[in-house]
Structure 1
Amino acid sequence: MPISGSYYFWGEKARNVLSKAAVYELYDENYRLMFVGECSNLKERFAEYLETHFSKEPCKVATKYYKREFTSNTKERKKEILEEYKKKYGKLPKCNIVGGEFVIGAEREVGVEKAFYFYEDLDQPLHQVAVSLKDFLEKVKEVSVTSIDFHQNRGDFAKWIRDAFGAVPLADAVETVKETGEGLRRQLIEIVGHPEAAVLASCPQCRTQTRPKKIWSMAGRPSRTGERLKLTIGYYRCSKCGKPFRKVIAKEKVKR
């Protein structure tokens, strides 16, 4: 069930919400649901939105109304709302798509065989393991810069993100970082912490960074093993020169 109750106007009064764990829904001026989120402290989350004017998540700039529901089981409640929405409309709210949850799956976990194992050098494991992008982000904040430099120089981070999650644009963004030490750590935290930026694409005509107008998925014919290659594709129209183009955002092997 979606969040019941009244719509609240988005604005400075949103700062007055309680400092409690909650799920929340953001709506545009036509009361269309744009985003379903969850957090451990709604007051802090809304304060961040209001102070930054959604600069880190521009998809949400059109927010005019919101709903909220206080609950200790935020992740399950959010999952329930999104599953019901997708069942009804055949897709997720647009900012949950562009925000990376559909394309990248920040909380999606992989098995131990695909997990990322941190090392400081060959034969020097740190016994730190990441099984999701969210988990990876937390580990990057903790491990030594020696470990971060070691893996980045080998291209391990980008390869894991690409192979384990099919998040091609995010992997490409990570791969292009040339800094080392704490500068590298900060860049990785920024990129992986805000994966919505990874769906940006350069216009092939004027090189302007452009966000997708539409995102969809399609799968090819099954192989002999029954696997199909599923592509997530973005349709873009350059905001500067108007040129339309497409780009593969993610690749994933799926069972038929």
Structure 2
Amino acid sequence: MRNIFTGQNGSGKSVLTRLIASVAYPDHVAELSRDREVDMGVRWFDPMTHDVATKGRSGVVTHVLDGEPVPYVARPYKTILLQPAQRGEIENLNALAQMFDLSTSAMRSTLGLLPADSDLVKEVQCLNGKVHWTLDVNGRTERFTGRGGLSLGSEPLILLELAGLHARHHARVEPTFLLLDEFFGFHDIHTQIAALERLELAAEHAQVAVVSHSPQIVQRVSADWSTTVLEHRPRNRWDTPLDFEVETKSAASD
């Protein structure tokens, strides 16, 4: 499934992505609950039906799984919540591994596969915990060796290529949801659409949700993307229930 969440600032787009991700990473609920009460219910199938009710109060999270209180919920699906990285994070192997919830060994192996999978990334080297990149950007070679060299707009595109590869491989063994929250701030609409088209193919069986306030994205993506428009919610109206549905589907069932 390919999804776009759009709406005005304050409509709850970023909150929605964190709620989706919170089944696998309840710290998102803990953070949200510091200034509001959070009550969330999720159902999934594996193939039996499971229901979990999650509450967040003042940073404390509790769960009830299939009617029984539990200290945590074993992850029913993998979520990758990707936001624009801090400048320079892509040069740090540990930072990349943490971003994608991987060990450094798994991240190093994933980086090694990227050049064969990408039109953008031509070479990746990992030396002493640093990641050195060589890119082909519109026929121009860009190199990053920890001392600058990459344009500001290249870093999000690298992360997007890496996210698509990681999501595709992970979805082969576990239902995977890739969430991109306002990820294209440095790019024109043509670059954004081209990046989404590459991601649509690269992610394969992984589900993808993109948060964007840009009406042009909604108008120009392919018909394979479903669109959800969220209404603006004043801060004093967060007690209004927000309903959404997540479909988990393994590659083996496709």
TM-score (norm 1): 0.28
Q: Looking at both structures, which has the greater relative contact order when contacts are Cα pairs under 8 Å and sequence separation is at least 6?
A: 2
Greater fraction of residues in helix: 1
* TM-score (structure 2 length as normaliser): 0.28
